[in-house]
Amino acid sequence: MENKDLLAIAQEFGTPIYVYDADKIRSQYKRLTDAFAQIGQLKINYAMKALSNISILNLMASMGSGLDTVSLQEVQLGLHAGFSPDRIIFTPNGVSISEIEAVVNLGAQINIDNLATLEEFGNRHPKVPVCIRINPHVMAGGNSNISVGHIDSKFGISIHQIPHLLRIVENTGMNINGVHMHTGSDILDIEVFLHAAEILFETAKSFKNLEFIDFGSGFKVPYKEGDIETDIEELGKKLSTRFHAFCEEYGRELALAFEPGKFLVSQAGHFISPVNGVKQTTSTVFAQVDSGFNHLIRPMLYGSYHEIENLSNPEGKKRFYSVVGYICETDTFGSNRQIAEISEGDYLVFRNAGAYCFSMASNYNSRYRPAEIIWHNGEAHLIRKQENFDDLLHNQKLISFHKKPETAPV
């Protein structure tokens, strides 16, 4: 997409607004499948928590993707969007056994990361195929806030608990058909990822009826010009070679699975907001936008970086601004950023807004959540309307605490 397309969408549909480029999503999906073209059974399961609009899900299904889900509701949305149950994997954390059983009844693949849950589920449903999530205690991600492979992580069954895990499987007679790991986001060092993969291969040898091995994802995308990213092509060559060797040793060909979220949709997303005002203080120039962390919480939640550009005045002289929102708390999108000169009424665009942006949006300060647009075949399609006041009242019930007026004497 070009900036003129984004500006036209903002003016036609109103703001603030999220815009997703379908062609970018397709190109990222193709890049990943091309990198692993040597794998006979490749499963790409889109991690829908990154962006769960049903039109985005339908686009993924049309490309042949499966779906990685973390809640019963995500499974239900996936089915509604066109995925068959056998293309959905359910990887929850800390949910009730009843939620897991509800997903089993829908026909999705179960992935369990808790020994107690595994034992209970195995005693109840020994015939249901189960994948096991392993914590290899390897941090392949670059941000400690979004790494899930460390030893104190709440995710996965520790590799040090494998003997206990095997005893549960033997005692219950349950069917283990997959092993899985996810070390975290923003993976840069391929060798560290491959080291974690070796731990997963070693674990896989303990199970004789596997159908797939799931290596998670967490591939880093560039957030600004010149930024580094995961070398998917190099990873494809090295991991494919090692995977073929493992399958030969294992005795049959298995499926290789990934669950990318950010890699597929992050760069495809653009968030656009107008500027309400420019405020000069003793030390800072603030660009105050018509949005806040109710719409885009990632910078305040874990310090994520989003490139910010002025769509209305892209060639203007660059000045330093702190871009802030209208929430009645500190909600800074970017501090001391060099941006083309900003005036009231200009439209700013926040890049890399496809992953964990709208999906984390809220109604904090009783603000409406924004609209969503997908850009497909050179046209903008509305895939979610902006909320209105009725949406804020939906599901609420007013109980009146005012005293009833006394009845006048007859």
User: Residue 395 — left, alpha, or beta (φ > 0 → left; ψ -120 to 50 → alpha)?
Assistant: left
Token pair for 381 = 């399609």
Least Cα distance to 57 among 34, 36, 32, 74 occurs for: 74
Respond yes or no on whether the N-terminal peptide bond of residue 16 is cis (omega within 30° of 0).
yes
User: Residue 39 — left, alpha, or beta (φ > 0 → left; ψ -120 to 50 → alpha)?
Assistant: beta
Task: For 301, list phi and psi in degrees, rounded to 5.
Answer: -75, -50
CA distance from start to end of the chain: 75
What CA–CA distance (Å, rounded) separates 115 from 118? 5
Beta strands in 308-378 (DSSP E): 308-310, 318-324, 332-340, 347-350, 371-376
Which residue in the list 131, 247, 328, 357 is annotated as catalytic? 328
306 with 273: CB under 8 angstroms? no
Token pair for 60 = 């993924």
| Catalytic status, residue 357 | no
Least Cα distance to 374 among 20, 53, 25 occurs for: 20
* Cα distances (angstroms) measured from residue 57 to each of 9, 53, 80, 104: 22, 6, 9, 21
Residues known to be catalytic: 328
